[in-house]
Amino acid sequence: MTSDRAGIESRKKMSQDWICIIAEALKSVQATRFFRSERGFQGQFHVGLDLLLKDKGLVSNQAIIEEEYQKTIPKHGITHRPDLIVHIPFEAGLTRSRREGNFVAFEFKFRASQLDAIDRFIKLNDYLTELDYLLGFFGNINDARSFVELVPDYRIHIFNIFKDQDTVRVLHSYLEDEKPIVEEF
C-alpha cells in the first residue's frame, strides 16, 4: 500500500512539473502573429518547450519532441497524428514496447468549437489509453473556452492561450474529483 501511495505522489509531482513547464513554454510565445494560426503557434511553442525541457531536465536526453508523428494500427493501435509528442522513440532501442517512454501528447486548435474540442479529447484519450502517455494537453489558441466539462479522462488538461493587449494569458483547466478547476498562470 505504501509503494502505491508513493507511486501516486510521484506521478502527481511529475504531472505538476509538466504543467508548470508547459505553461512557461506557452507564455514564451509572444509575437501576435503566432496567435493567428495553429501551426505558427505550435511551432513557436515547440521551440520554447524544447529549450525548457533541456534546461529543467524533466526527461532524459533520449526523449525528443516530434510534430505530427504518424501512428499506425499495426504498430500503435491508433491512426491519429498528434500535433506534438514528447517521447523516447521505440526505434532507439531503449524501451521494451511502444507503450513505454511516452510522456505527453498535445493537440492544438485555433479557436476550437465544441465539436473540435470533443474530437481532440477523443484523440488525447486514445494516446493515454492505447500508448500510456502520462498526460494529454489540449491547447485552444486565442479562445477562452475550455470545454473542460467534456473531458473523458482526468489526465487531459486544457490550456487556453490568448493575447490581451501585450500580455499573453494562459488559463489551465482540468478535472479534479470530477469537478472543473480553472487557474491562470
Q: For residue range 15-41, what is the model confidence (pLDDT) as tens digits?
A: 899 999 999 999 999 999 999 999 999
- DSSP single-letter state for residue 111: S
Cα–Cα dist 90/95, whole Å: 6
Q: Give the residue extent of every domain in the chain.
A: 2-184
Sign of CA dihedral 8, 155, 38, 72: positive
Rg, Å, the chain Cα set: 16
169, containing H or E segment? strand 167-176
Claim: this prediction has a pTM higher than 0.75: yes
Residue 106 near residue 139 (C-beta atoms within 8 A): yes
Q: What is the dihedral of CA 100, 73, 121, 7, to 10 degrees?
A: -20
CATH architecture of residue range(s) 2-184 = 3-Layer(aba) Sandwich (3.40)
Q: Which residue has 526527461 as its cell numbers?
A: 59
If DSSP codes are grouped into helix, strand and coil, which group holds residue 140? Answer: strand
Q: For residue range 116-170, what is the model confidence (pLDDT) as tens digits?
A: 999 999 999 999 998 899 999 999 999 999 999 999 999 999 999 999 888 999 9
